[in-house]
């Protein structure tokens, strides 16, 4: 099974600022953000894993054993025309989360919030880097890739998360679920990527991505405003 464990060379300060809800904050000490990014890089234990499955887009069915029927119109539209999908998971491990909790308990609230935001940035970067590894492999087989889509985006129910854990084999990198469907470690992600045959169909119209596809309009890190 494909496993990703490349080092995290940097954490993006701009994205960390966004996840911390500071995009409109003027005069904020940039050194604090830089320090949080550096701490996140040193504390992270980057790990990722992915699996490829055949996909029936008419039934929104991942052809696994047992099969997985994906619920939601937006994710169905996003995967339209795909005949394979990649199920992936990524994490930065538990040490960052433990440090965030400790800083908060010690009253270091700013440092805690910034490190938490840097950890979110870090795990998204790991997933981005995984895509960069996967893309040429898919292209060599004649496939193009859609951008990744996670439970909780659009109308894809979060309660389908257990199936992503199962099919991505996320347990192999230490990722599991709490009883309330929260990922453990908390700074982890699961996602699906559609694969479509290049040259066999017109590429679908570009669908909303990331914040634009998410129904949570009051999120402080949202880029696209309603």
Closest to 89 (Cα-Cα) out of 177, 19, 14:
177
- For residue range 201-223, what is the model confidence (pLDDT) as tens digits? 544 444 445 555 455 555 555 55
Give the position of tokens 């405003």.
225
Task: Spell out, as residue ranges, where the chain has pLDDT lower than 50.
Answer: 202-208, 213, 224-226
Residue 108, token pair as written in the block: 């270091």
Closest to 146 (Cα-Cα) out of 225, 79, 93:
79
Residue 115, token pair as written in the block: 């490190």
Angle between helices 30-43 and 109-140 (to 10 degrees): 60
pTM of the model: 0.86
């Amino acid at each position: 099974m494909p496993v990703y464990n490349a080092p995290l060379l940097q954490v993006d300060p701009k994205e960390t600022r966004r996840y911390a809800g500071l995009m409109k904050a003027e005069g904020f000490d940039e050194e604090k953000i830089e320090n949080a990014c550096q701490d996140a890089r040193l504390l992270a234990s980057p790990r990722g894993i992915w699996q490829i499955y055949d996909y029936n887009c008419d039934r929104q069915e991942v052809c696994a054993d047992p099969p997985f029927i994906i619920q939601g119109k937006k994710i169905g539209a996003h995967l339209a025309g795909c005949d394979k999908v990649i199920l992936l998971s990524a994490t930065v491990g538990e040490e960052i989360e433990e440090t965030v909790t400790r800083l908060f308990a010690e009253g270091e609230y700013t440092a805690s919030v910034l490190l938490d935001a840097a950890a979110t940035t870090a795990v998204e970067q790991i997933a981005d880097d995984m895509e960069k590894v996967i893309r040429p492999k898919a292209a060599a087989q004649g496939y193009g890739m859609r951008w990744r889509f996670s439970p909780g985006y659009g109308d894809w129910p979060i309660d389908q998360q257990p199936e992503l854990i199962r099919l991505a084999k996320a347990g192999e990198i230490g990722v599991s679920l709490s009883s309330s469907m929260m990922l453990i470690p908390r700074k982890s992600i699961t996602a699906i990527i559609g694969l479509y045959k290049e040259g066999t169909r017109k590429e679908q119209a570009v669908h909303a991505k990331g914040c634009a596809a998410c129904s949570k309009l009051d999120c402080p890190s949202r880029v696209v405003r309603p």
